[in-house]
């Protein structure tokens, strides 16, 4: 019986995710009736290979078996488990007990001779001959028993027998499971979202050249992904004006998500930004600053998009013959026509959309942020991502779906590399702990890679509206340390832009979605240096490069939250203590789970605050914390364990 | 998308278990891309029916849907889930929002006309005509909009439309799941194990007639299942003597598990017990006392069993031509030959074993306690139980497998109605809580019905060896209240038999397995009245008739354990507080989870100790407990809620 194989998502229907270089640990319950000993192997192969490789599994308590294999290549691997009764090992275990009890085992020696003889038929020539020799000696009825016992229990022969078990009755687990291996950025990335048209620093529409001039600024803050809202021509029909004014904006620049005009659609570039050549140049320049460009995939059309004229069959027509615009009743978005993915002409449409992605891949783009994937068919995304990654396994898709958990998780299972989360709306200690425990400690971690955004052009949370600079700092630290992947929408974020369009709204006042903005990025109160410091800490500390080790520690105060992340070998441990209130200084006691930190309860240890470079010597689990949000809302400690006795003086590492 | 259907065991590979009269609650995550409203139905049928029945499912938060169906017949039912996009309900939700916002909906009315017209084609004549009429009226372009809106949102029409959704694109969950419906005794039973040969009260071998004389005694203690170790002829070759003495016992009666002699095998009765006729008479008499007889299925043979001569092919032959006896190296059981279930002749063997079960069913036996099922193939049990229950769905099989959890759980999944547990060896509070939480609050509860035995003829735990009468009382209360199914091996248990064969052994000294015992059942220190009282409390309190409601409450003392069970409607609640130490009086505070007990924190409540009939008035979660093991190791409280104000005086129910 082979059951409860882990990792396995939805009965093997969906792949799990890893990044290159990971050790893929697989476990299974493997057992049989009776008392026979088993042999168990993990089978694995790259998807494109036909040969399985074998990795012997080790028995843990209670019939649990474990092994691992390294994933060293991008793309898909398959794995499964096989098990068999090992008659020789069973025989050996029993005979050792009998011999130890002084019993005669003459008949058992004959049994061994038979088993060894059988094994010799499975072995290649040299080993076969050795085994045959052993079998014959054991089968002789006339040697003294003690000598033959010694022969039968010979360790070399046992090792040889272990190479040729009888697997003809082996059980093979009924499913082949799949792991998708992504590049490291799928697991560890810091995103910066910027509207390229606001990059001139002046009133005028920015260009890719202006964007190039912004690169040193963005790189200095330590980001590695620069995500641009759609860069395509913008429609004029029903174009929205400032603050989403209906039919306002013939002279406004319009929303970048109103894609398509006479100047082209999803494969074109907004003329005011520049040419494809400019874009390629910008991309190269960004690369030289360690910044990778992410584009927006928003599969929808303005009424002026070329598709609307050329492919009326790709849209929904209302009973009165007009084209169906986007709605969220009673809201109407007459500047947007959704594509009809399930029309009779779905195949040419899907191929066209695939060609859009391939077009930008040709322009060297490898990261796509996908707009509202939950309003398009699940099956489309599964197909598209699979098709693209088959030839381009380095492509990353980030799902921007703010909807119910079932749908967000399903999109991740279907192939999205990373996913937006509810992080922006989780502000209390209990809900943060519950949500991030679910994301990082449950099965969800196998397929859903959270990307944490404290703000986006659509989301200015109440906390940021009211909490001032301390709130921006606290939310930034949370995003950057709870999430190995996170992002901010800037310069709004680092400049602490906090004015909503109206009370109760999460929309920005004078939102950049509808106008060109001038940001004073040199403002003295900018968080740019703080952000740079935190991103530096992230890069230097591998504990922050993944989410699986996240562990919450108790505190005696509702506004003080404490959590840690560690590398698997425990060599790097980061401990964050944060004051969740932007308004008041709070103090209290943390109660560390020393085991999880691999700290010896009987030895002092040092914590180094990487934000301030202050050092504290702590002792045992209970330690005092006081945090003033106006100076620093959090400690980001690196834990340094006690290293030597104080023959000279204390060392920590 | 339909996923996470519950209950579902191992991807639907195994059935779940319920008892007759239960409400079978089914839940599933059902969702789709986009924002359309769904219709969802639970489908169910008896296994032998071909028609599915439909039960609409209700939407809980986060895309979870729920419905239930009653299981009113023994045997197997099937169930699954289907879901579809409900275009009319979606249309209606959106139009209501638009109308409320004062928008024109002329085009939407045309859409409705089309949907209603389509529905009319799915409806039988009368409803079809009504719908057609509505569709025509809505389709008219000339009526005033407000009147047509009223028509379109008519509640009667919505109800009619709900009857004829378009299910042609419905998703059907890919699996049909199975629930096995057993009779009530599968869930709630009190077993008494007795060696019939020790029933004479004298030195001589007891008979079924002697057993009849014992029935009033057993019934007075409140048991409802009387389980007899094997009643077949016992082999003489290598028969074991007193205290398992090897080759001791030509003049000893031998172990009842050494089945088979010249006088017959598994279908024969030991001549000293009586005839089949005597057995049938005893069975009838037992029935009149409310006692059902359970027999032992021990599929193994003494060397003198008729099978050994007649069916040598059903046994394993060693290389020297001798027959393989049972072993647990270095222990040898030469009085027992295991059957070889996987020989070439497995089919006649399996059929013969099935005929053994059918033979005893013919003698009106409906409960079988199965000896060591884990040493026979899993596939055999799945086949046997399925075959028997197809014609006899009232037959109960209890698995006596004391082995690793994976194997015990697998046997339960394969069909065993009830299962022995590790209860005998769980004595500390933490391990009792952990184990019974796993058994009653995890998925295990769907297929594994625990049967708790504080002792068996093979198991005299250290606790019972040393703890005296208080230990027997405490272990009895635990078994009878933690487990809706439990049993004791008597009269050893009620007479507090505690002498082991040797220190460190769990075997009884002078074990009844190897000799006829004389038990003085009238001894003044017998627990028979205490047992009778507890069984009476069990019968009177439906909270104790099942295990799913088990809930542990905190106490501030390691030796004081507190737990409750409740009926689903909360009308009957039993709260047990027990002193786990048989040696010392302990006192401390319990901290009740009032929510789980449906108690109002602001009102006092009464607890009635059903063992002593003492009443206490409690207030809030925190209450003082003091238990002296020498008088009563536990309280078994019934909780009586505050009923009326004290206009006259307090009432509780």
Q: Looking up tokens 């909009």, which residue turns up?
A: B145
pLDDT tens-digit series, residues B88-128 = 999 999 999 999 999 999 999 999 999 999 999 999 999 99
Taking 90 as the threshold, does the pLDDT of residue A146 lie above it? no
Count of CB pairs separated by less than 8 Å, A with B: 104
Q: What is the pLDDT of residue B589?
A: 98
Taking 80 as the threshold, does the pLDDT of residue A597 lie above it? yes
A400 is catalytic: yes
CA distance A478 to A486: 10
pLDDT tens-digit series, residues B19-44 = 999 999 999 999 999 999 999 999 99
| Cβ <8 Å between B410 and A31 | yes
Query: Residue B458: phi, psi to the nearest 5?
Result: -100, -15
pLDDT tens-digit series, residues A11-50 = 999 999 999 999 999 999 999 999 999 999 999 999 999 9
B168-199 CB burial, b ≥16 within 10 A, e <16: eeebebebebbbbbbbebbbbbbbbbbbbbbb
Taking 80 as the threshold, does the pLDDT of residue B358 lie above it? yes
Mutate to test the interface with A, among B319, B321, B322, B434 (most CBs of A within 10 A): B319
B218-232 CB burial, b ≥16 within 10 A, e <16: bbebbbbbbbbbbbb
Taking 70 as the threshold, does the pLDDT of residue B643 lie above it? no
Q: In DSSP terms, which residues pair with B638 in a beta bridge?
A: B574, B608
CA distance A254 to B521: 95
* Cα three-residue angle A399-A405-A407, rounded to 5 degrees: 60
Taking 80 as the threshold, does the pLDDT of residue A234 lie above it? yes
> Using an 8 Å Cβ cutoff, are A26 and A67 in contact?
yes
Q: What is the pLDDT of residue B352?
A: 98
Q: What is the pLDDT of residue A644?
A: 54
pLDDT band at B144 (very low <50, low <70, confident <90, very high): confident
H or E stretch covering A462: helix A462-482
Taking 90 as the threshold, does the pLDDT of residue A645 lie above it? no
**Interface list for A 125-144 with B (CB within 8 A):** none
Specify the pairing of strand A560-566 against strand A605-609. unpaired
| Cβ <8 Å between B322 and A29 | no
Q: Categorise residue B35: left if φ over 0, alpha if ψ from -120 to 50, beta otherwise.
A: alpha
Within 10 angstroms of residue A141's Cβ, the number of other Cβ atoms is 8
Q: What is the mean pLDDT of residues B554-563?
A: 98
Q: What is the mean pLDDT of residues B318-346?
A: 93
B28: nearest CA in chain A? A406
pLDDT band at A145 (very low <50, low <70, confident <90, very high): confident
- Give how far B132 is from chain A: nearest CA, Å: 18
Taking 90 as the threshold, does the pLDDT of residue B515 lie above it? yes
pLDDT over 70, % of chain B: 98
pLDDT tens-digit series, residues B243-276 = 999 876 678 999 999 999 999 999 999 999 999 9
- Give how far A519 is from chain B: nearest CA, Å: 36
B98: nearest CA in chain A? A330
Query: Residue B623: phi, psi to the nearest 5?
Result: -140, 145
| Cβ <8 Å between A378 and B410 | no
Q: What is the mean pLDDT of residues A465-483?
A: 98
Taking 60 as the threshold, does the pLDDT of residue A393 lie above it? yes
- Give how far B241 is from chain A: nearest CA, Å: 22
Q: What is the pLDDT of residue A140?
A: 76
Q: What is the pLDDT of residue B19?
A: 98
CA B416 to each of CA A333, B71, B372, B378, B631: distance values in angstroms, whole numbers, following the listed order: 61, 19, 12, 11, 39
Which of B63, B93, B407 has its CB closest to that of A406?
Answer: B63
Cα A95 to chain centroid, rounded: 51
Q: ipTM of this predicted complex?
A: 0.90
What's chain B's Rg over C-alpha atoms? 31
Q: What is the pLDDT of residue A247?
A: 72
Q: What is the pLDDT of residue B647?
A: 53
Q: What is the mean pLDDT of residues B618-636?
A: 95
Which of A34, A98, A107 has its CB closest to that of B375?
Answer: A34
Q: What is the mean pLDDT of residues A148-177?
A: 94
Q: A61: helix, coil or strand?
A: coil
| Cβ <8 Å between B34 and A3 | no
Taking 70 as the threshold, does the pLDDT of residue A643 lie above it? no
Taking 90 as the threshold, does the pLDDT of residue B521 lie above it? yes
Q: A515: helix, coil or strand?
A: coil
> Using an 8 Å Cβ cutoff, are A367 and A295 in contact?
yes
Q: What is the mean pLDDT of residues B587-611?
A: 95
Q: What is the pLDDT of residue A161?
A: 95
pLDDT tens-digit series, residues B374-433 = 999 999 999 999 999 999 999 999 999 999 999 999 999 999 999 999 999 999 999 999
**Interface list for A 57-96 with B (CB within 8 A):** 62-63, 93-95
A329–B contact, CB cutoff 8 A: yes
| Cβ <8 Å between A107 and B322 | yes
The pTM of the full predicted model, rounded to 2 decimals, is: 0.93
Angle between helices B405-414 and B378-391 (to 10 degrees): 30
Structure-token pair, residue B254: 């031998």
pLDDT band at A457 (very low <50, low <70, confident <90, very high): very high
> Using an 8 Å Cβ cutoff, are B364 and B395 in contact?
no
Mean residue pLDDT across chain A: 95
pLDDT band at A652 (very low <50, low <70, confident <90, very high): low
pLDDT band at B137 (very low <50, low <70, confident <90, very high): confident
The one catalytic residue among B22, B27, B371, B515: B371
Three-class SS string for B178-229?
Answer: EEEEECHHHCCEEEEECCHHHCCCCCCCCCHHHHHHHHHHHHHCCCCEEECC
pLDDT tens-digit series, residues A576-591 = 999 999 999 999 999 9
Q: What is the pLDDT of residue B142?
A: 75
Mean residue pLDDT across chain B: 95
> Using an 8 Å Cβ cutoff, are A557 and A590 in contact?
no
Taking 90 as the threshold, does the pLDDT of residue A197 lie above it? yes
Structure-token pair, residue A483: 């999430």
A129 is catalytic: no
Q: What is the pLDDT of residue A500?
A: 98
Burial class of A155 by CB neighbour count within 10 A (0 to 12, 13 to 18, 19+):
exposed
Better pLDDT: A402 or A641: A402
A168–B contact, CB cutoff 8 A: no
pLDDT tens-digit series, residues B307-326 = 999 999 999 999 999 999 99
Structure-token pair, residue B98: 């638009």
The one catalytic residue among B224, B400, B446, B463: B400
H or E stretch covering B586: strand B586-591
Angle between helices A125-139 and A155-163 (to 10 degrees): 130
Q: What is the pLDDT of residue B644?
A: 54
Q: What is the mean pLDDT of residues A416-422?
A: 98
Q: What is the pLDDT of residue B251?
A: 85
Nearest to B307 by CA among B340, B342, B270: B340
Q: What is the mean pLDDT of residues B189-212?
A: 97
């Amino acid at each position: 019986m082979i059951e409860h194989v882990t990792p396995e998502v939805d009965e093997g229907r969906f792949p799990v995710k890893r990044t290159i270089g990971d050790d893929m640990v697989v476990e299974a319950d493997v057992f049989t009736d009776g008392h026979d000993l088993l042999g168990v192997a993990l089978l694995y192969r790259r998807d494109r290979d036909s040969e399985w490789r074998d990795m012997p599994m080790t028995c843990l308590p209670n019939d649990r078996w474990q092994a691992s294999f390294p994933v060293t290549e991008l793309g898909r691997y398959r794995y499964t488990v096989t098990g068999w009764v090992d008659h020789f090992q069973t025989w050996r275990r029993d005979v050792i007990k009998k011999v130890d009890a002084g019993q005669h085992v003459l008949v058992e020696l004959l049994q061994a001779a038979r088993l060894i003889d059988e094994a010799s038929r499975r072995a290649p020539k040299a080993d076969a001959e050795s085994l045959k020799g052993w079998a014959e000696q054991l089968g002789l009825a006339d040697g003294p028993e003690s000598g033959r016992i010694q022969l039968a229990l010979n360790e070399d022969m046992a090792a040889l027998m272990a190479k040729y078990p009888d697997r003809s009755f082996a059980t093979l687990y009924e499913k082949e499971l799949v792991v998708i291996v992504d590049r490291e950025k799928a697991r560890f990335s810091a995103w910066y979202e910027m509207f390229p048209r606001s990059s001139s620093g002046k009133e005028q529409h920015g260009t890719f050249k202006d964007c190039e001039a912004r690169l040193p600024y963005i790189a200095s803050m330590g980001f590695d992904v620069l995500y641009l809202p759609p860069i395509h021509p913008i429609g004029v029909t029903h174009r929205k004006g400032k603050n989403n004014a209906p039919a306002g904006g013939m002279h406004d620049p319009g929303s970048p998500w109103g894609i398509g005009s006479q100047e082209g659609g999803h494969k074109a570039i907004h003329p005011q930004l520049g040419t494809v050549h400019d874009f390629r140049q910008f991309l190269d320049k960004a690369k030289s600053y360690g910044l990778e460009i992410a584009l927006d995939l928003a599969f929808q059309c303005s009424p002026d998009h070329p598709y609307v004229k050329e492919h009326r069959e790709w849209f929904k027509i209302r009973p009165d013959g007009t084209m169906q615009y986007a709605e969220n009743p009673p809201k109407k978005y007459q500047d947007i026509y959704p594509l009809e993915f399930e029309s009779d002409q779905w195949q040419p449409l899907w191929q066209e959309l695939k060609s859009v992605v391939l077009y930008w891949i040709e322009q060297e783009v490898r990261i796509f942020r996908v707009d509202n994937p939950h309003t398009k068919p699940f099956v489309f995304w599964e197909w598209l991502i699979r098709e693209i990654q088959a030839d381009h396994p380095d492509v990353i898709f980030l799902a921007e779906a703010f909807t119910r958990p079932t749908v967000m998780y399903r999109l991740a299972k279907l192939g999205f590399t990373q996913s937006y989360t509810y992080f922006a709306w989780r502000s209390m200690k209990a809900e943060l702990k519950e949500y991030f425990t679910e994301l990082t400690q449950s099965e969800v971690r196998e397929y859903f890679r959270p990307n944490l955004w404290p703000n986006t052009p659509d989301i200015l949370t109440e906390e940021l509206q009211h909490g001032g600079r301390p709130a921006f700092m606290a939310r930034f630290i949370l995003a950057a340390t709870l999430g190995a992947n996170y992002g901010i929408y800037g310069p709004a974020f680092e400049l602490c832009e906090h004015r909503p369009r109206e009370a109760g709204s999460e929309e920005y006042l004078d939102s950049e979605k509808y106008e060109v903005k001038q940001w004073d990025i040199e403002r003295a109160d900018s968080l740019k240096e703080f952000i740079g410091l935190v991103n530096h800490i992230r890069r230097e500390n591998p504990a922050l490069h993944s989410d699986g080790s996240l562990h919450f520690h108790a505190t005696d105060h509702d506004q003080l939250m404490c959590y840690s992340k560690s590398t698997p070998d425990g060599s790097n441990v980061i401990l964050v203590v944060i004051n969740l209130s932007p308004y008041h200084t709070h103090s209290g006691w943390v109660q560390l789970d020393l085991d999880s930190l691999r700290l010896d309860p009987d030895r002092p240890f040092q914590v180094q605050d990487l934000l301030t470079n202050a050092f504290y010597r702590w002792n045992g689990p209970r330690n005092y914390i006081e945090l003033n949000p106006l100076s620093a809302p959090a400690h980001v400690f690196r834990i340094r364990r006690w290293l030597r006795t104080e023959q000279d003086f204390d060392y920590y590492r």
